[in-house]
Amino acid sequence: IHVSPTTFILMGIPGLEVSHFWIAFPFCSMYVMAVLGNLAVLLVIWTEPGLHQPMYLFLCMLSAIDLVLCTSTVPRLLALFWAGTAEITFGACATQMFFIHGFSAVESGILLAMAIDRYVAICRPLHYGALLPLGTVGRLGTAAVFRGLGLMTPLTCLLARLHYCDQVIAHSYCEHMAVVKLACDDTRANNVYGITAATLVVGTDSLCIALSYALILRAVLALSSKEARAKTFGTCGSHLGVILLFYTPGLFSFYTQRFGQHVPRHVHILLADLYLVVPPMLNPIIYGMKTKQIRDGALRLLQRGPVQA
């Protein structure tokens, strides 16, 4: 029986329905921390003219994308867990899927741009200003947005042409494969396009990032000063931490949804939910702790607050 895809029902975390109310509390706390942390990063960089440099502008882009990712998911998840609001229209579901998957691809592109920035700063310091002027930073960010959202547009169109035999999505949000599994039609086009697009984006970006950091490592080890090596490792360490935090759980979630039949469903879905809120929560903390300029800017902003009041 074909069902008109006007409304879907989100299950939440199958097998943990009785715990939804309590699971929502840590998600709410992490979401609040993610929003406050990323807004703080944006505010500090915006108000500090000395931070209007490529590295920090890319960090602004990362914070803005993290706000989009967690806000696309967590408020709807909290409504499901606390209020039992399980119904979601097909349009809202497709929009949520577009934002989650599209901006995940955009974030991958921004992480690649940040790796290029670190490579130029460390391996070509004399040409840094010429190779990465602010206009180039803007073009790299724009290219990441168009690539990520451009890849997601055909996937959304492929989803809209399907007919559905079921309306119950065994997930907490509209994840692409969780929706495709409800279709009565042949879904090979969705499966092939989804896997190909994700593999190309992640594969290309991660290879380029790995190459950038291999060259950076070679340049750092060639430095004679231990202090310079430590400073460079500190700067790059925070970026590497963010990269691992983004790619590792993301790839696990993506491929277990398709091939991980032996992974318990509630474990996979819980990890998929955490993937969209934990990195946005931790990224500002990682950069705030590891980057002296951001720490100092935040302190100056706090000191100015009472005076202006």
Query: Per-residue pLDDT tens for 134-143?
Result: 899 999 999 9
Give the pLDDT confidence of 201-210 residue by residue, as tens digits: 888 998 999 8
Residue 1 lies in a domain: no
Residue 208 lies in a domain: yes
Beta-carbon contacts of 126 under 8 Å, excluding residues fewer than 6 positions away, are none
Residue 57 lies in a domain: yes
Report the mean per-residue pLDDT for the chain: 86
Residue 308 lies in a domain: no
Residue 158 lies in a domain: yes
φ and ψ of 7, to 5 deg: -145, 140
Query: What's the rounded Cα separation, in Å, for the pair 3 and 29?
Result: 37
What range defines the domain where residue 100 resides? 7-301
3-state DSSP assignment of residue 155:
helix
Tell me which of 223 and 63 has the higher pLDDT. Answer: 63
Instruction: State the CB neighbour count (10 A cutoff) for residue 249.
Output: 17
Q: Is the pLDDT of residue 309 over 50?
A: no
Residue 235 lies in a domain: yes
Residue 2 lies in a domain: no
Tell me which of 2 and 218 has the higher pLDDT. Answer: 218
φ and ψ of 186, to 5 deg: -70, 120
Distance from the Cα of residue 235 to its chain's centroid: 21
Domain count, the chain: 1
Give the pLDDT confidence of 16-31 residue by residue, as tens digits: 888 999 999 999 999 9
Q: Is the pLDDT of residue 121 over 70?
A: yes
**CATH number where 122 lies:** 1.20.1070.10
Question: For the residues 239-251, what does the mean pLDDT come to?
Answer: 78
pTM of the predicted model as reported, rounded to 2 decimal places: 0.89
What single DSSP character describes residue 261? T
Q: How many residues does the chain have?
A: 309
Give the pLDDT confidence of 144-187 residue by residue, as tens digits: 999 999 999 998 888 888 888 888 998 999 988 889 988 888 88
Angle at 194 between CA 8 and CA 150, to 5 degrees: 95
How large a percentage of the chain has pLDDT more than 70? 91
Residue with tokens 């790299």: 140
Residue 128 lies in a domain: yes
Q: Is the pLDDT of residue 237 over 90?
A: no
Give the pLDDT confidence of 45-65 residue by residue, as tens digits: 998 888 889 989 999 999 999
